[in-house]
Structure formats: structure tokens, C-alpha cells
Amino acid sequence: MTAPMPNEALSTSPAATAARSLDPDARSWLLRLRASGIERERALAELHELLLGAARFALTQRSSQLGREGFDDLAMQAADDALIAVLARLDDYRGESRFTTWAWKFAFYEACVAVRKRRWLGREVPVEDDAWHAFEGEPGPAGRVEQAELLSALKSAVTTALTPHQRRVFVALALNQVPVDVLADRLGTTRGALYKTLHEARNRLRSDLASLGLGPSEWQSDSAAGADLSRTGPGTAA
């Protein structure tokens, strides 16, 4: 049985007008979440339940990284944070996907960030580049020589071609595989800003290697400009 529509459905407000162009389920969600009183409270409770289901799924999938301790609290916190994010971004929803799919992505974002931060709680972000050893060794003598040459050039490029900040970000994110959200937290910045730095570092390294005739020497450029990252916006995703 479909939930009864609040009186706002008859309104000519921009929100009500936009809601009427959506699929029935999405329309119902938006109108109820923008309503007042008991209607809104019920919608919020349903939305929270929807987000909690997604958060639990994410945490279950990542339980090997997390353990069962604090599972329920983490799921609840992720759902709470996702609910706040969804409500703050409600005007961004344009009905180009199902409302549930759109809302779920907030839950997965919050749950994943929570897991990453929980795993790294109390751990220092490694700044050494000892992890280079993981890239050594390739089957076959020809492959080993080629890989060793590439590795040596890459190590040198990280030292000489990058700015100190780019080096720090590259070593942490790419080499030591520190989660971007963890590093963002430690450095007081955002995921987007850090990934942009990593992207720029990668472009510099690729260019440096290409100038030495090393590969990605298998990759040839079509123009003189660097591979682009689309415009980055401020802040995190939620």
C-alpha cells in the first residue's frame, strides 16, 4: 500500500514541481522527507533503515578487515552519518537513478571510510619507501632486467621529479597503500585534494620515465599535454 501523499503534493513550490517529474517511489521519498511532523519522522526512520542495511552489507563484506567487535556500532554510525549526508544533499537528487541507489552510495561511502579509519586507528602512516621491494622480481631474465631498470628509474624519479608534498602523498598512497581517507584525516585535507596530488605526481613520473625511454615506454603520447584529471571540487564526497 502506497504511503498517503502529504498536502505538499498539491503545492506549486519548486520542490513539489520537481518531485512530480520523478518516478513514483522517488517522488514519495522526496515529498515525505520534505514534509513535517510525523510524516517526515516516518520517512527518516525508513531511510535510516535503508541506509543501515547497506552499511551492514559493506561491513559484512569487509569483516575480515574489521572483526566483529564494534560491528553494530560502526554500522549504526555509518547509517547516521549517511542520513545526515543524504538530507544535506537532497536537492542534488535529480531522479536520474533510483532514489534508493542514490541513497545507498552515501551509506557505502560512510561505511568504507569508517572501516579504513578503524583499521588505521593508532597506526602511524609509513613515510619510508621500504615497500619498493614488493615490486622487485619478475619471472624470466629479460623481464627481471627490464623491471629492475624501470624500478630504479622510478625510485629516482620519485626523489627528483616530485615536489615534497607530491612525494609524501605518492609514497603514502601508491607505495604504502595508506587509505586516502586516513591520510586526508592526518593531513587535515580532503580525499579529492589528495587524489589530485597523486594524479599530478603520477603524471610527472610517467613523463619522467617516458623522457628516459623507459616504460611505460609501451605507452606513446598523442600530444604534449599531460593526462587530465577533470575539475576537482572542494571538500569530500559527503
Partner 1 sequence: MIWKRKRAAPASFSGLLGPGRPELSCEECFAVLDRYVELELEETEADARFPGMDAHLEGCPACREEHELLLAYARTQPR
- Residues engaged in binding partner 1 (CB under 8 A): 54, 57-58, 61, 92, 96-98, 100-102, 104-105, 108-109, 111-112, 116, 134-135, 138, 147, 150, 154, 174-175, 177, 179-181, 191-192, 195-196, 198-199, 202, 205-206, 215-216, 218-233, 235, 237-238
Region of residue 48 (left: phi > 0; alpha: psi -120 to 50; beta: else): alpha
Q: Which is nearer to partner 1, 16 or 197 (CB)?
A: 197
Considering Cα of 179, then 73, then 33, then 53, what sign does the dihedral take? positive
Alpha-carbon gap, residue 48 to 76, rounded angstroms: 9
Nearer to partner 1, 40 or 199 (CB): 199
Q: Say if residues 151 and 212 touch (Cβ distance below 8 Å).
A: no
Among residues 167, 165, 185, the alpha carbon closest in space to that of 114 is found at: 185
Minimum Å gap between C-beta 36 and partner 1 is: 27
Please report how close the Cβ of residue 201 comes to partner 1 at its closest, in angstroms: 9
In single-letter form, the type of residue at position 148 comes to: A
Residue 67 or 216: the one with the smaller Cβ distance to partner 1 is 216
Instruction: Report how far residue 143's alpha carbon sits from residue 26's, in angstroms, rounded to the nearest whole number.
Output: 55
Q: In the complex, what is the shortest distance from the CB of residue 57 to partner 1, in angstroms, rounded to a whole number? A: 5
Closest CB 215 distance from partner 1, rounded Å? 6
Closest approach, Cβ 82 to partner 1, in A, equals 12
Give the integer Cα–Cα distance in Å for 44 and 35: 10
Nearer residue to partner 1 within complex by CB, 2 or 101: 101
Q: Pull the grid cell for residue 191.
A: 580525499
Query: C-alpha grid cell for residue 132?
Result: 619498493
How near is the Cβ of 7 to partner 1 at its closest, in Å? Answer: 29
Between 31 and 170, name the residue whose CB sits nearer to partner 1: 170
Nearer residue to partner 1 within complex by CB, 9 or 237:
237
Evaluated on CA atoms 212, 215, 220, 224, the torsion sign reads negative
The residues near 69 (Cβ < 8 Å, ≥ 6 apart) are none
